[in-house]
Chain A
Amino acid sequence: MRLTREEVDHIAELAKLALTEEEKERFAEQLSAVLEYAARLQELDTEAIPPTATVLPLRNVMRPDEPRPPTPREDILANAPAAEEGCFLVQAVWGVEPEPEVEP
């Protein structure tokens, strides 16, 4: 299993990680090595084996629908890199709709 540069780019995009050229090269190599190592799992026939997502025997862990007072806003905003008007402040979000084009 060898990761291509395109795959590394794609994963970095999904994970929202800016990587340097050098990092991309290195990760392609290192991740390929780990995946190659992981390929040994394919030796095992797991057709009839259920997956383990949790080792716990716990089921139906729920709480009653009872509200509690929220945390003071200043405590929530205290760590914010930027805040304004009681909100977290960021640059304009992506994916905001462009002006719709009207059919002639």
Chain B
Amino acid sequence: MTHYEPVIGLEVHAQIHTASKMFCRCPVVEDTGDLEPNTYVCPVCTAMPGTLPVINRRAVELTIMTGLALNCEILPVSRFARKSYFYPDLPKGYQISQHGLPLARDGYLEIDTENGPRRVRIDNVHLEEDTGKLFHVGNVSLVDFNRAGVPLIEIVTKPDMRSAEEVRAFAVKLREILVYLGVNSGDMEKGVMRFEASVSVRPVGSDELMPRHEIKNLNSFRALARAVAYEIEQQIKTLESGGRVTQETMGWDDARGVTYTQRTKEYAHDYRYFPEPDLPPLEVSREWVESLRRQLPELPDARRARFRAEYGLGDFETELLVADRAVADYFETAVGLGKVSPKTLANWITGDLFRLMKETRRGIDEIPVSPEGLVDLIRRVEEGTVNLNTGREILEEMVATGKEARQIIEEKGLAQISDEVALREIIEQVLDQHPAQVEQYLGGKTQVAGWLMGQVMKATRGRANPQLVRSLLTEALEARREAR
């Protein structure tokens, strides 16, 4: 029986979150779904007659930086081209894109697979503009151009992936890089990243080019991986039953978990590219590239390696910290204060802080606890001002109210009692109240000490320093033995 091997390539579109649009100065606003339509538009991005594009320098720079992060060659001369097709969300009747001379090409991204690391080659990285949005209401469509002209970076891979898992790993890693570069928020729910997968299968060992299915408009990692897995399975089934796969454009029905053929016309793909006459070419000098290279932040893989080496963190916590640039930055800021060990910080962040972030559905830069605030709290625990459990409760309060640890401790009287005189007094009281248990202890049933300790903690409402209580309690009991 023939074994089949999937051959998968990706096209990834990611919005670039510059302050202004690609070719006009309208603000770029991440669409949270409640934006009033056509309120971030101007004559340029709605293609009024006579208007002209002007290139946003930041968008070009972020695209070059992405190219560098993906190990690409940066072309010395690059230019924009018009890609012509008609659709109501495309105001000019052409999209300004790049064709033939992209900003970057021939790179790669290394992903981890079950068979070890694997390089996925990048064909090119280029810059273009987004289209508007259509809303379908009955037999009409409404057009909103708020998104029209938002800069889009397009990353095109070679067909180097061999499974849905690899595709997912690539997408996840690419997202991580884009977020690290500040290209976009990585907020998939807002549609800031969109995927198109081209999938074919061929007999193992063959290097034949097989007809592909291009699956459009995949907007989440899950949809991407599921659609690719589904396609692979279907194509193998088709071939095994003696059928043929034909080149097709597919849609993905997420609810039913199936791909389906999109109705397209054959001539629809003649985009008639030609150089954009309204925009002079870009000359990307070596100096420019080098200065952008210097601006590159440390990328996730390098940071992972450093976290393990420099902070002695394990793979699991490193992964948790590095996956989100903001978290890793937060962690490093906290470590940099030099008051708490990296290990302890990692535990607090990936444990309680992550839980609280998840519960309140906020990112680390949205919660009101600064790295300084967290370190201050941990120090108070380590110094014994409060015990660990109280510390965790205080953090919850900090996340909820934005108050500082000290304020919460004061307001609620949570400071740990480490005053030996005060504690001795409480212990004596507890022992006096429970003579039977004291007798048991003195009779050799020393495990009763634990119960007595609980009573002391209860009497202090958990504020007592447990170590101190333990030693003072033992002391007090032994004193009573001697006193007999």
Contact B141 A65 (CB under 8 A): no
Q: Mark A33-69, 1 if CB is under 8 A from B, else 0.
A: 0000000000000000000011010111111111110
Which residues 89-104 of A have a CB within 8 angstroms of B? 89-93, 95-98, 100-103
Residues of chain B having any CB pair with chain A under 8 Å:
18-20, 25-28, 36-43, 46, 54-60, 79, 86-88, 134-136, 138-145, 251, 253, 256, 258, 260, 262-264, 267, 270, 272, 275, 277, 279-283
| Option from B251, B264, B272 in Cβ contact (under 8 Å) with A100 | B251
Known: A58-B280, A60-B280, A62-B56. 16 other contacts (CB 8 A): A54-B277, A59-B281, A63-B57, A66-B20, A70-B27, A70-B39, A70-B41, A76-B145, A87-B142, A89-B141, A90-B142, A91-B141, A95-B87, A95-B262, A97-B251, A98-B260
Question: Cα distance A56–B79 when bound, in Å?
Answer: 14
Chain A interface, number of residues (Cβ within 8 angstroms): 41
CB distance B58 to A65 under 8 Å?
yes
Q: Could you tell me the distance in whole angstroms from the C-beta of B223 to the nearest C-beta in chain A?
A: 14
7 shortest interchain CB distances as A-B pairs? A65-B58, A100-B260, A87-B142, A62-B57, A68-B25, A67-B27, A58-B280
A1-38 interface mask toward B, CB cutoff 8 Å, 1 = contact, 0 = none? 00000000010011010000000000000000000000
Give the residue name and chain of the B residue nearest to A99 (CB): B260
> Interface on A for B, CB 8 Å cutoff?
10, 13-14, 16, 53-54, 56, 58-68, 70-71, 73, 76-77, 84-93, 95-98, 100-103
Please give the distance in Å from A18's CB to the nearest CB on chain B: 13
Q: Which of B38, B43, B136, B280 contacts A61 (CB 8 A)?
A: B280
- Known pairs A97-B260, A100-B253; A90 contacts B88 (CB<8 A): yes
Task: Name which residue of chain A comes closest to B268, CB basis.
Answer: A95
Which residue from chain A places its CB closest to the CB of B144 in the assembled complex?
Answer: A87
Is A67 a contact partner of B136 (Cβ separation < 8 A)? no
CB distance from B50 to the nearest CB of A (A): 13
Determine the distance from Cα of A66 to Cα of B79 in the docked complex, in whole angstroms: 22
Task: Tell me the minimal C-beta distance from B150 to chain A in angstroms.
Answer: 12
